[in-house]
Amino acid sequence: MTVAADLADERLVRSKGLAGAVDVVWRRLRGGDLGSLPVVVGLAIICVVFYSLEPRFLSSFSLVNILTYAAPVGIIALGIVLVLLLGEIDLSVGSVSGMGAAVMSVLVVRESQSVLVGLLAGIGVGVLVGLVYALLFTKLGIPSFVFSLGGLLGFQGVLLYLLGSEGTINLPSDSGLIEFTRFSHLTGAAAYALVAGVVALYVLGGLWTIRQRKRAELSAPSVVGLAVKAALLAAGLAGLTYYLGIDRGWSYLFLLFVALVVLMDLALRRTRWGRHVFAVGGNEEAARRSGVKVTRIYVSVFVLTSTLAALGGVLGAGLQTSVSQATGTTDTNLTAIAAAVIGGTSLFGGRGSAYAALLGIIVLQAIQSGLNIVGVDSSVRFMVTGAVLLLAVAIDSVARRARSSSGRG
Amino acid sequence: MTPIDTSKGRGAAASDRAGRDTPAGSGLALSLRGVGKRFGAVQALADIDFRVGAGEVVALVGDNGAGKSTLVKIISGVYQPDGGEIEVDGRRVSISGPRAAQGLGIATVFQDLALCDNLDVVANLFLGRERRQSGIVLDEVGMEQEAWRLLRRLSAKIPSVRIPIASLSGGQRQTVAIARSLVGDPGIVLLDEPTAALGVAQTAEVLALVRRLRETGLGVILVSHNMSDVLAVADRIEVLRLGRNAASFDARDVSIEQLVAAITGASDEARSGRDDLAATPNPAGGTS
């Protein structure tokens, strides 16, 4: 039997069968390549703890709520993942989300524009902020920490100015935005059809990769492994669909968030742009010398981050049915950043994944929801969230040391 | 031509070449005549002549401050010369920037390698020149195949191309950096101190790599401090001293002592001393 070109080196330890696969995973973990394992373990612990305190925590009503309310800040966190990949930071995402929501609500309620115009304007504000940030960063060389700190204060001021003396704007309850964010859920046959479609796409993608690699005489993942993973995915999704279906089902808002995460993941891993984002985050000078248009990468990422923040803001406003002076302040910023970090995005740049936003925000939302159900004061919630963030960063730092001692970067 | 077209065309050309086992013989001839560069009051380079042909390894040696780095940067397009002519294959050119140098077929491997530690070997090899399927999606399989072809062409010892650069040894990183310079299918490869940070075995590996570059018909410029490395692989050795051409040797008939003498200027002083004596028979005429 001929050996595939990429397995020909005699120094490569070939791992065969189940034992081999387990060994590979174990070695990777020992080497500090933790991936999303800490988050998944953390989530399991959170579930066990809160379930033992209050079984309602894992009721389908509670789970639907957790997922739905995780979505708006999750979308903001997705943008944070992008800036963190570059080794930069955007502290103003909460304020930008609040400003976007305020612009939309003012247009819709006071100026009686259509919701669509309001949405576009709100999101457009995000694009604009991102462009200004990119300009400040690439042309003037101002550190992102500084100008986004300015934005944090400045845009909160804009929010207060727009809301004026009233302080709160209630969105019309018959608007499509509220319908979409609060009351639209996917359940029953349609939900199972979606699960089937997702699993089918996963299998087809996997088979295509296997076929391509075999044709190129490279080693290919095994069909059995793919089948096992697909079966697990199908069982998990179908089980969740059933369980959430007991209550309202998958909320459209959460599905939109997941769709954005999947799209971002594909863009990061499968396109030239995504490759360049990782390169700039890893070694900017090397990327520049290799012909990567570094400025464009910065511009695209700052714009995407602010845009996603504004999108999260308007959707969050829909979910809350109103925009108030507190929209997008203090904890939105930090929750979004914490979610990205807890999900496993490194603060040092060049390491992370779009799924970090999804996992991280579910952890934080689960904690918040669990503490609410148990009936704990919000002061405790802040302390717990802070401790979890600290733990996540500590895990990142320890894993980083393990990586450098085992040569995984 | 758009950048995309360029990258596709060059990628295809590279894969054609790498497929062949025989020397490709597509190296370029680069020649510099009377090139100078001045920084403020310092004349870093003056009236430099330098040439490298296809299938030839030319070593560039000199003490610190001799102007090696300046010359390297002029050839790789980082600095613009103040004067003089640069010709590639007999055509007069100006190298206006690093991209222009690459476009002319001159690839530079800088001393600090400029690799992204967090990316794998394939991603580093094709960084900035990624191949794509249907215009959007990265052609990972195609790039991985091509990566193996490039590395085999160099008989390089990289166990896997899907491990991050951070886990490779210094010699392996140097190998990846050199392999990357070949992705654009250059005619001339400029190596800046490729063995400076390497151990004995790794140095031998890189020197073997340099020989294989020559065998495939490339012109190689090797900048080095290490005389034994230079003597081991170079065909010709150009010595710079204080920004000027000090000497040029055929590597087959030169000793380390001669080289060191040319680098430090000991031979110049010896020769000029004799010249003085020959030119001035009357010793009294020499003192004025």
pLDDT tens track for B67-104: 888 898 889 888 888 888 898 888 888 888 877 888 88
Q: Are residues A261 and A280 in the same domain?
A: yes
Q: Is residue A103 part of a domain?
A: yes
Contact (Cβ atoms closer than 8 angstroms) between residue A241 and residue A195? yes
Lowest mean per-residue pLDDT among A39-48, A373-382, B141-150: A373-382
- Res A238 pLDDT > 90: yes
Q: Rounded CA gap, B35 and B43, in Å? A: 11
Radius of gyration (Cα) for chain B, nearest Å?
21
Q: Is residue A15 part of a domain?
A: no
User: Please, which pLDDT band fits residue A41 given cuts at 50, 70 and 90?
Assistant: confident
Better pLDDT: B36 or A406: B36
φ/ψ of B244, rounded to 5, equals -130, 160
Q: Are residues A171 and A216 in the same domain?
A: no
Residues of A near B (CB-CB distance < 8 A)?
5-6, 9, 11-12, 212-213, 216-218, 270-272, 275-276, 278-279, 281-283, 285-287, 289-292, 350-351, 403-404, 406-409
Q: Are residues A158 and A301 in the same domain?
A: yes
Q: Are residues A391 and A318 in the same domain?
A: yes
- Res B283 pLDDT > 60: no
Given its phi and psi angles, is residue A144 left (phi above 0), alpha (psi -120 to 50 degrees) or beta?
A: alpha
Q: Is residue A260 part of a domain?
A: yes
Burial (Cβ within 10 Å: 0-12, 13-18, ≥19) of residue A201: exposed
Q: Of A283, A205, A34, nearest to B140 (Cα)?
A: A205
Paired tokens of A402: 């393990």
Contact B119/A278, CB-based, under 8 Å? Answer: yes
- Res B287 pLDDT > 80: no
Q: Is residue A201 part of a domain?
A: yes
Superfamily of segment(s) B3-283: P-loop containing nucleotide triphosphate hydrolases (3.40.50.300)
User: Looking at the 3D structure of chain A, how many domains does it have?
Assistant: 2
Domain parsing of chain B, residue ranges: 3-283
Q: Which domain holds residue A307?
A: 37-187+248-405
Q: Rounded CA gap, B10 and B5, in Å? A: 8
- Res B49 pLDDT > 80: yes
Contact A271/B118, CB-based, under 8 Å? Answer: no
What pLDDT digit, counting tens, does each position of A106-117 carry?
Answer: 999 888 888 899
Q: Are residues A235 and A258 in the same domain?
A: no
Q: Helix, strand, coil proportions of chain A in percent (round to 5)?
A: 75, 5, 20
Which of A228, A247, A266 is the C-terminal boundary of a domain? A247
Q: Are residues A59 and A199 in the same domain?
A: no
Tell me the average pLDDT of chain B: 79
Q: Are residues A197 and A273 in the same domain?
A: no
If you search the block for the tokens 């012109």, which residue do you land on? B219
pLDDT at residue B277 in the model: 44
Q: Helix, strand, coil proportions of chain B in percent (round to 5)?
A: 40, 25, 35
- State mean pLDDT over A175-198: 90
Nearest CA in chain B to A85: B118
- Res B286 pLDDT > 50: no
User: Please, which pLDDT band fits residue B111 given cuts at 50, 70 and 90?
Assistant: confident
Paired tokens of B79: 């600095």
Q: Is residue A30 part of a domain?
A: no
Burial (Cβ within 10 Å: 0-12, 13-18, ≥19) of residue A11: exposed
Distance from CA of B232 to the nearest CA of A (A): 28
Lowest mean per-residue pLDDT among A34-43, A269-278, A302-311, A321-330: A34-43
Which of A218, A247, A276 is the C-terminal boundary of a domain? A247
Nearest CA in chain A to B124: A279
Q: Of B221, B218, B210, B190, nearest to B25 (Cα)?
A: B218
pLDDT at residue A13 in the model: 62
Nearest CA in chain B to A9: B159
- B chain contacts of residue A276, beta-carbon cutoff 8 Å: 127-128
If you search the block for the tokens 């000199």, which residue do you land on? B62
Q: Are residues A47 and A95 in the same domain?
A: yes
Q: Rounded CA gap, A281 and A87, in Å? A: 6
- A chain contacts of residue B144, beta-carbon cutoff 8 Å: 6, 216, 218
Closest by Cβ to B116, choosing from A11, A272, A286: A286
